[in-house]
Amino acid sequence: MTGKLILVRHGETEGNVAKILDTRLPGLPLTERGAAQAKTFGANLIAPPQKLFCSAALRARQTGGYIEAATGTPLEVLEDLQEVQLGDLEGLNTKAAHEEFQKVYHAWHFGELNLRVPGGESGEDVLARYIPALRRLRDEYLTDPDAGDVIVVSHGAAMRLVSRELTGVPRLFAANNHLDNTETIELLPFENNLWECTRWGHYLPPFADEIEPTGDDPMG
């Protein structure tokens, strides 16, 4: 059995606290609580990852930096792993803005990937940039049966959409199940370029289809 690809949502940010839709690079920094979450995540790892990557967003780089300090694994920044880009909704924190994004995001999980918020990405755009980056990591680091885990610090909405597409977890589960800061989605590669989801936040498989929406911070 090879290592896993562990997608980690970054620590808490100033944008998360203020419920700001913060997607454009470089984005807002971690709070003190977010820094503590990242330090705790790194300290609690059973073994250092063989490789450690993050998106180009400031919050992901800061989170990854704390994991690097705890594990000794050098942090590398990867393009194409940033959060879903929200265009005209960027910087807003109103209920209407969140509802507009949630409507589009929920539709993506049920196959309407061509939809987009004004000026932002479609679901197809997100998958087209993000999935090839994960495939490259798989091909380079997870083909050896003795390979260790690869950690990628990224963003909640993008992680959930991509992981549902790669693993086929129930659509309603993925659409409704928010990830808290520094929670993970863990993907195990197996034959024919397929993936199995072995953890989604605090849930382990099998994943229930019927789940009520959790949390009010769907992304970041």
The answer as to whether 212 is a domain residue is: no
**Secondary structure (DSSP) of 114-182:** T-B-TTS-BHHHHHHHHHHHHHHHHHHHSSSTT---EEEEE-HHHHHHHHHHHH---HHHHHHBPPPTT
Number of domains observed in the structure of the chain = 1
83 given a catalytic annotation = yes
10 given a catalytic annotation = yes
Record the pTM: 0.94
The answer as to whether 218 is a domain residue is: no
The answer as to whether 118 is a domain residue is: yes
Would you give per-residue pLDDT tens digits along the chain (220 residues)? Answer: 689 999 999 999 999 999 999 999 999 999 999 999 999 999 999 999 999 999 999 999 999 999 999 999 999 999 999 999 999 999 999 999 999 999 999 999 999 999 999 999 999 999 999 999 999 999 999 999 899 999 999 999 999 999 999 999 999 999 988 999 999 999 999 888 899 999 999 999 999 876 666 655 555 5
Q: What span, in angstroms and rounded, lies between the C-alpha atoms of 32 and 74?
A: 23
The answer as to whether 70 is a domain residue is: yes
CATH number of the domain enclosing 42: 3.40.50.1240
Could you give the 3-state DSSP secondary structure of residue 11?
A: coil
The answer as to whether 217 is a domain residue is: no
Segments forming the whole domain that contains residue 150? 5-200
Catalytic residue among 32, 68, 76, 83: 83
